[in-house]
Chain A
Amino acid sequence: MSPLAQLRALPSAEPIFAAGGLFLLFLAAPLLAAAWLDPRSFNGINIWIKPLKFAVSMSLFLLTLVAIAPLLRPEFVRSRGYRIYAGVVLAAIGFEMAVIIGAAALGTASHFNVATPLAAALYTAMGILAVVLTSASAVYARALWHAGRGRTWPVLHDGLVLGLALVLPLTLVTAFTLGGNGGHWVGGTRGDAGGMPLFGWARDGGDLRVAHFFATHAMHFIPAAAIPAALLLGPARRWPAWFAAGGLVALVAFTYAQALQGRPFLA
């Protein structure tokens, strides 16, 4: 099969995640229009940056799972239980996006908002649904483990399993610390205006979003390290995947401790 044909066949393994991921990418267009037209700001930056970041990240999350789905056992992906679960994950993402966009439209906070009983209830629901949607990475880790190493390079298989398996525990620790902290800043300015380009992370104090970012992208960083390892050292050597996983856990621990001490990731 040509690469283009392979790309076209990709969504068939997990069509609703593929459709959801593409829909979120399309959603970026009106959000960009809103960012362009609406002068309001929140935490010192345009109020539509946050919905845009979430749309792009959720899209990347779903499309990554789509790319992994062909490596799983077809019986698993087609099973009734998994189909229902995938629908629940997609609904959770839809709910998160609706709250984040709605809050931006109303000019209020989505996360950390306990100003009214409704806002507090929505914030709590978002926390629960964030766990539901992130659990998809753990489900994929387990399913890929069971599918065995035969479908791709052994080092990439292990990298994907390790990356996916680390997302949920690492994200739970970092994100719930964020939630308990009542905001992502520790010391420094409570605003995004002076933050790092693209990411918006604080440069004059701790920012718990850094550790959350590396935790949640374990499913990207570890496989991304496994691919050059397969090309340089051969696909059968599996230790680079485990080495990368250890490095990522260390990086999350380091950035987590750094933020809690109120120190910026990169000044």
Chain B
Amino acid sequence: MPLDDLFSLANRLALAGWAALVLALWGPRWLMLAGGLALPALLTCLYTGLVLGFFASAEGGFFSLDAVGRLLSGREMLLAGWLHFLAFDLFVGAWQVRTARRESVPRLLVVPCLALTFLLGPAGLLAFLALRAAIRATRTPGNAGIPA
């Protein structure tokens, strides 16, 4: 499969995963399994396949910014890097949904965190961590805080 087709396929898989995650805030368990386990696992398989096949012949390395630039200069490793984003962002999104459901974080407030994680991974994680900390701090015995 040409790398461009694999790129489109991976993007579609990730989008399906994000849709499942948002619905999983309210929906049944299989949505969580699809968006939080099956689709991230599929993306990690594709990533691992690329790394097994192309990392050894790639230039560059991890220990200087230029080396990282050279590492991602080949199209295979560039696509692997993109799959890394897609897979890990989705998994972090799934963790947010699980945590929100377990700790009764208001679900409507989790949606923008998911959107931010989808677009700008770490910024979305930061938003969710801040939201969760704020809710925990204001929740006292006898006061359930913001209703879930």
Do these two chains really belong together in a complex?
yes
Residue from the set B6, B41, B55, B56 with the largest chain A CB neighbour count within 10 Å: B56
Structural contact, B56 and A106, CB atoms closer than 8 A: yes
* Interface set of A (CB-CB < 8 Å, partner B): 29-38, 40, 48, 101, 104-107
Which chain B residues border A29 with CB–CB below 8 Å? 41, 45
Q: How large is the interface on B (under 10, 10 to 19, 20 to 34, 35 or more residues)?
A: 10 to 19
B1 contacts the other chain (CB 8 A) = yes
B49 contacts the other chain (CB 8 A) = yes
Extra contacts, 4 of them, besides A32-B45, A48-B52, A105-B55 (Cβ < 8 A), are A29-B41, A33-B46, A35-B49, A37-B53
Which chain A residues border B56 with CB–CB below 8 Å? 105-107
Residue from the set A33, A37, A105 with the largest chain B CB neighbour count within 10 Å: A37
Which chain B residues border A35 with CB–CB below 8 Å? 49
Which chain B residues border A37 with CB–CB below 8 Å? 1, 6, 46, 49-50, 53, 76
Given the complex of chains A and B, what is the CA–CA distance between A31 and B48 in angstroms? 8
Type the 1/0 row for B10-26, where 1 means its CB is closer than 8 Å to any CB of A: 00000000000000000
Q: State how many angstroms separate the Cβ of A29 from the closest Cβ of chain B.
A: 5
Given the complex of chains A and B, what is the CA–CA distance between A245 and B56 in angstroms? 46
Q: Which residue of A lies closest to B46 (CB)?
A: A33
Given the complex of chains A and B, what is the CA–CA distance between A101 and B49 in angstroms? 11
Type the 1/0 row for B37-74, where 1 means its CB is closer than 8 Å to any CB of A: 00001001110111011111100000000000000000
Q: State how many angstroms separate the Cβ of A26 from the closest Cβ of chain B.
A: 9
- The B interface, classified by DSSP as helix, strand, loop or mixed, is helix
Which chain A residues border B57 with CB–CB below 8 Å? 107
Q: Which residue of B lies closest to A104 (CB)?
A: B52
Structural contact, B55 and A33, CB atoms closer than 8 A: no
Structural contact, B55 and A36, CB atoms closer than 8 A: no
Contact partner, B1, options A36, A104, A107, Cβ 8 Å? A36
Structural contact, A33 and B54, CB atoms closer than 8 A: no
15 contacts between A and B (CB under 8 A): A29-B45, A33-B48, A33-B49, A34-B49, A34-B50, A34-B53, A36-B1, A37-B6, A37-B49, A37-B50, A38-B49, A101-B52, A104-B52, A105-B55, A105-B56
Structural contact, B53 and A38, CB atoms closer than 8 A: yes
Q: Which residue of A lies closest to B80 (CB)?
A: A37
Given the complex of chains A and B, what is the CA–CA distance between A101 and B51 in angstroms? 12
Q: Which residue of B lies closest to A38 (CB)?
A: B53
Residue from the set B45, B52, B55 with the largest chain A CB neighbour count within 10 Å: B52
Q: Which residue of A lies closest to B79 (CB)?
A: A37
Q: State how many angstroms separate the Cβ of A263 from the closest Cβ of chain B.
A: 36
3 smallest CB-CB distances across A and B, nearest first, come from: A33-B49, A38-B53, A30-B48
Which chain A residues border B53 with CB–CB below 8 Å? 34, 37-38, 40, 48, 105
Structural contact, B49 and A30, CB atoms closer than 8 A: yes
Which chain A residues border B1 with CB–CB below 8 Å? 36-37
Structural contact, A38 and B54, CB atoms closer than 8 A: yes
Q: State how many angstroms separate the Cβ of A22 from the closest Cβ of chain B.
A: 14
Which chain A residues border B76 with CB–CB below 8 Å? 37
Q: State how many angstroms separate the Cβ of A31 from the closest Cβ of chain B.
A: 7
Given the complex of chains A and B, what is the CA–CA distance between A29 and B1 in angstroms? 17
Given the complex of chains A and B, what is the CA–CA distance between A159 and B44 in angstroms? 42
Q: Which residue of A lies closest to B48 (CB)?
A: A30
Given the complex of chains A and B, what is the CA–CA distance between A30 and B45 in angstroms? 5
Which chain A residues border B52 with CB–CB below 8 Å? 30-31, 34, 38, 48, 101, 104-105
